[in-house]
Structures are given as C-alpha cells and as structure tokens.
Structure 1
C-alpha cells in the first residue's frame, strides 16, 4: 500500500475532505462535476510537477473559502510500507503567496523533487486520449512526465535545457560576442544530452516491458524514440555552432532534444513473419488508441513501482472498455504493486472488484464512505 490517509483542505470544490482506510483498489463514484477528478489531481500534486491538469496554482484554491483561508490550499498524505508509516508528505500554498508551491516531508520543508524519493505517481486521464494525434511537444511532455517518475532529476535537466535555448535565441538575435554563444551552447549541449539520453533510456525500458504483453485484449504499442538531433554533448555542441546562421534566420533552434519525437505504431495481432509492425497509432481507431495508452500506462507503472511505493490514477477508464478488456485491466492491476485510484459515474463497471475496493461516493466536494 502507498497512501493510507489523504486530506484535502480548500482544494478545488473540496472544503475539507479525508480519505482513510484505503486499499489496493480505491474507487471514487459520483456524477460529473462532483469532485472525483479533483481528488486524483490532489494526489498527483503529491509528486513533482504541475499535476495531471497542469493547472496554475492560483486556480486550485477553493473559491468559496473564508477570508482566513481564501487563496490557499493544502494536501497531505501518509505513506505506508509494510504496514508502517514511512513518511508524511504534503504540499500547500499560502494566502500571501498563492502562486508559490510549498512542500513538507515529515514536518520539514523540502523541494518538490524530493517527493519522488518517497513514491511514484502515474496517471491516465481522458484529456490524454488524443496523445497520438496531438503535437510532438505533447508527446515529449508525456515522455518527460514518465521519466520524472523514475528519474527525479530529469525535470531539472529539461528546465536547464529550455533556459539555455531561450538564452541562445536571444544572443543569436542580438548578435552578441561569439564567446557568449559558445558558453551558452556548451550548457545547452550538456543539458540536452542528458535529457535525450534519459528519454531514450525510458523508451527502451518501456519497450522491453511492452514486448512481453500479448497483442490482445489490449492493443500492444511499439515505441520508437526519434531524437531531434545529435545525442552526445560533443556532437550536439558542434551542431549548434554549425546551425547558427539557419537558427538566427528561423528565430529558434531547429535541431536538438526540443525536437524529439515519440513514434508509436500498433503491433499486428497476426504475428506472422514480417507483420509485427502495424499502422501508426494516430490512424488507429479510438478504442485501439485507448487500449495502447492503457498498455503504456501499465508498463510505466511497473517500472515506477520498482523499489518504492507507487500510485496509479485512472480517471474514467473502466466505462470506456468492453467487458473483456475491463476484466483484463482489473487482473493486471490486481497483480501489480501499485495502489490504484479510479473514478466512475456509477459502480456497475467495477462489480468485479467491488468486494475488494475502498469506495467513496463524491457529491459536490463531499465524500461518503460506502
């Protein structure tokens, strides 16, 4: 078990909510807009990053809170390992600084990246259904979020790369001393190489995990990492220097990890010689795309759960699966190490796990244990 007790204060439409006596399976049931996904979002903020909605902090505090708490929220949880409390973690904002996120671990101030040292959080939401037809940037963010759950230092490398590239663009435009460009490009090459190698390492590990999956009942995706340029620091540095005239004219760097792509195709169900690779994910049916997303999420959950507690958030996932795929999903989740949190508008899709799950009914930001 990962999270044994979760509290929300003035978060979204939850004034004061508590979820205790959790289980391996945890269900949040209620009408649309009741606040189910808000609970999942709160849990996702107990990890580095901006959470599953990537919302601005100032938008998270409950609007109807009193003057003393207005503009601030708090989320807390206890982590349990082998029946014992291993840590108490929390994140919050203050009324005076609503756009600054603060973190506490075992009563001490901490950096948000330290949350990854205690547990990993992964998620799948309906907003991700268009991932394969979205931009390459959306897929890079998807890869980076998965990498962050396994290698906490990845976020810093990505931020450093983006900062260096912005500074390089400015220097190219201003036509400053070439020595300044040399220094900035050295930084961009170093950070960019780290980012590219981390992404490649993640995709390789995911591919290994996915290769063991049968093509049915979930469509099995085949992943390929396509770097947007050289990967080693030396080659990337040389490319930045060579491309200065072109990048100055374009107003941006046209080569580098910020141009990486994650290519996804569906494995053929008939695995006869020469037929392993199927159609691109973007051209597959909505159901097949959903099934591939679930497969990637489950594979990542296995990797993230290695050596520490893990939490998997699945928003409205069961209702969109046929009975065969739903049963297969529950069986995979039951066998895994991650603690599962799911939402739904009714209990019917969860009948198979109802007897082993902790269930809450959510209504207008209020929780009732069933």
Structure 2
C-alpha cells in the first residue's frame, strides 16, 4: 500500500485563505491559469516533509498577506498502520512547528513517515547551473531513503562553519581544528556514503525500455569519502584553507554528474527538453526504488511537468505514475494536458479572484 493524503487543509497559506480537499489516493491534477495558486498547493504538500519545501521559503514568506497571522497545514495520511494526523504551522516571527497525531514531533519524523519527491520549473536548468542545486537535488533523493541524512548534513555544516571562523581569524591551535575536523570527517563520510548508495540504487532501478532516457549518475568528490582519509586531508589542507578563508574540500564541494546513457552525452550538452526528460527518468527510478525499499511509492509533486513533453512522453509519464500506484500532484495551465489520465486521476480546477484561490473538482 502506498502512503497517500486523504484530506488536506490550508489556512492562511499564500493565496489560500482556507482550502480543504478530500483525496482518495489517485493522482491529483490541478489545472488553472498562471497565478491561480496551483503551485501553492504543491508547496503546502511539500512542507509535510522535512526542510523548507519546494520553494525553500522562510515561514514569513509563506504567510498570507496582509493578515500575517501565521499559517497552518493539516493533513490526514493513510498508511499501512492506519490513519495519521499531521500538522505543520508557523506563528508570526516563529519557526515552523510539527505535530503528528496531536503530539509535537521533529521535522525528521515527517521524512520517516512520508517519502516525497518533486520537480519544479526552477529545476529545468539543474544541469547547466552551479553544483549547489545538484547537491540539493541529490540530498533530497538521499532523504527519501535515509531521513537521518538531514541530521548528518546539519552536523557537518555546523562543524564546517566553526572551522571556517577559525580559519578567517587566523587561529593556529591544532587542538581546536582537530576536534572540528574529526566531526566533519565523521559526518562527511556518512554523507558521502549515503549519496553514493542513493546513486547506486537509482541506477539499479532505471528502466532502459522507458521513453525517458536512462541516466548514468556519478558522484564527483573533491576529497576522500572515508572518515580517516578525510580527516587527514582536512588537517593537511589547513594552510591552504586559511589563505582562502574557508574549507576547500569535503562533501560540501561534491557534484552530481549525469550522462544520457544511450547517447553517451553529458546532461549539460542536452537540449532543454532532453534535460527535463532526464530529470523525470531519475525521479521515476527513485520512485521505483522507494517502492521496493520502503514498501510503497512516494508522493510525487510535479509542477508544470508537461510543459516540455510531447503527447507520447506525457502518456508514458502518466502510465508510469499509475503503475507505481503513486499519489502524484501535477499542475498545468490547461486540463487537456491531462486528458490521457481520464478517471485514473482526480481532477481539479484552481482559479483566483480578488487575491484568493479557489479549488473546484471537475470531471475528466
């Protein structure tokens, strides 16, 4: 059984003053004009996972204006163990809070309960822009398998920030550096291990017969991935790092490389449509892997995913979603983009009037 949302309620969330929708586990199609509030719904769902959501927005940016009274998302989730109640919200000036079954919980608990993947138009240039976006994409993939990956990443970042401060201040006490480098090496080795494992399992679940191009993925590292070797490399690089004022090696400098397998072509050299197809191929492989590893397909958030797909690939994507049994949320400007789903999906029209979004169920 795939985990899916049964009810979703948004309160004072961006353009949604109060929106409630009942869901039955089928894919969810959201059609409407640009600016109607479709992506806001996907963003709300994304906040039922750890982190800052698909827009990486701060809690203050999400709250509906001009009221600025805070915001709340409530959801009922069907799981193999029964129904679970999720809430996440933020009051003005406060950080995001989480409750599961009416009990306070850390964000990582959301990742343990729900696996979630997404694609947005902002990711269309993933392969031609800086490595930071590709690392973020890879780490979101890793989180779907290992929710504790976030804790390892936070531990590494905290130790690295402190080491960078010492470097900038010209501190030479080797004891201070050794302690921080030991923590960076321990957490950094786990980060690299998790990333390498994710790359391997996605490769094992690629579909060479799919209309979407099979991607060969590789993790490019600037430093050793083993703990002892990384600690040694950090110690040996102190003088160089002090001159730069920052740590120049480690998992924070890694990059994700993708090649269109059939053409032996780097993703960066592919057309925009081909790059989009590669991303979809990777997400579908990730979803298939999760269905095996976690016993159920993840929730998929696919914002304007049909924009660069021809009719054949759109149909192949919709078939793949249904074959997985995944609850996918898809947005598009016109309902005709989703005709091939037919009754296999729930269809909604999202409209906007006077700054408020409205959601209406429709029949395909």
Both proteins in one fold, TM over 0.5: yes
Deviation at 1:176, TM superposition (A): 4.0
User: What stretches of structure 1 of length at least 5 have no aligned partner?
Assistant: 270-277
Confirm whether residue 91 of structure 1 aligns to residue 88 of structure 2: yes
Match of 2:230 among 227, 232, 236: 236
1:329-348 alignment runs, 5 A limit: 329-348=317-336
Does the residue aligned with 2:334 lie in a helix, a strand or coil? coil
> Residue 307 of structure 1 aligns to a residue in which SS?
coil
Q: Are the equivalent residues in 2 in contact too, given 1:26–1:358 (CA < 8 A)?
A: yes
CA contact under 8 A between 2:4 and 2:25: conserved in structure 1? no
* Displacement after TM superposition at 1:209 (Å): 1.2
1:110 to 105, 110, 131: 105
Distance 1:120 1:191, change over 3 A: same
Q: TM-score, normalised by structure 1?
A: 0.92
Match for residue 154 of structure 2?
159
Q: Deviations over 1:68-126 (max 9, x none)?
A: xx3300001111136x842111100123xx34000000011111110112111111111
Q: 1:136 aligns with which of 131, 137, 145?
A: 131
Alignment RMSD (CA, Å): 1.5
Whole-Å separation in 2 of the counterparts to 1:27 and 1:131: 25
Moved more, 335-344 or 305-314: 305-314
CA contact (8 A) 1:221 1:264 kept: yes
Q: What is the Cα deviation at residue 308 of structure 1?
A: 4.8
Matched, 1:290 2:290: no
Q: Deviation above 6 Å: which 4+ runs of structure 1?
A: none
Question: What SS class does the counterpart of residue 95 from structure 2 fall into?
Answer: strand
Is the Cα contact below 8 Å between 1:81 and 1:309 reproduced in 2? no
Higher alpha-carbon deviation: 11-20 or 247-256: 247-256
State the distance in 1 between where 2:271 and 2:296 align.
36
Q: Shift of residue 196 of structure 1?
A: 0.8
Shift of 1:304: 3.0
Tell me how far 1:309 sits from its aligned partner: 5.9
1:369 corresponds to: 361
Hey, what does 2:16 align to over in structure 1?
14
More deviation, 14-23/53-62 = 14-23
Counterparts of 1:309 and 1:289, CA distance in 2:
24
CA distance in 1, matches of 2:156, 2:331: 36
TM-score w.r.t. length of structure 2: 0.93
Contact 1:121 1:311 in 2 (8 A): yes
Which of 213, 222, 232 in structure 1 is aligned with 2:216? 222
How far apart, in 2, do the equivalents of 1:136 and 1:105 lie? 35
Whether 1:78 and 2:76 are equivalent positions in the alignment is: yes
Moved more, 26-35 or 169-178: 169-178
- Please list, as runs of the form range in 1=range in 2, the aligned pairs for 1:249-260 lying within 5 A after superposition: 249-260=243-254
Secondary structure, aligned partner of 1:52 = coil
Separation in 1, partners of 2:94, 2:203: 38
Q: Quote the Cα distance in structure 2 between the aligned partners of 1:205 and 1:288.
A: 22
CA contact (8 A) 1:8 1:74 kept: yes
2:256 aligned residue? 262
In structure 1, how many angstroms separate the alpha carbons of the residues matched to 2:231 and 2:225? 10
* 1:42 Cα deviation after fit: 0.1
Q: Determine the C-alpha separation between the residues in 1 that align with 2:28 and 2:195.
A: 31
The SS at the match of 2:127 is: helix
- 1 CA distance for matches of 2:16 and 2:348? 14
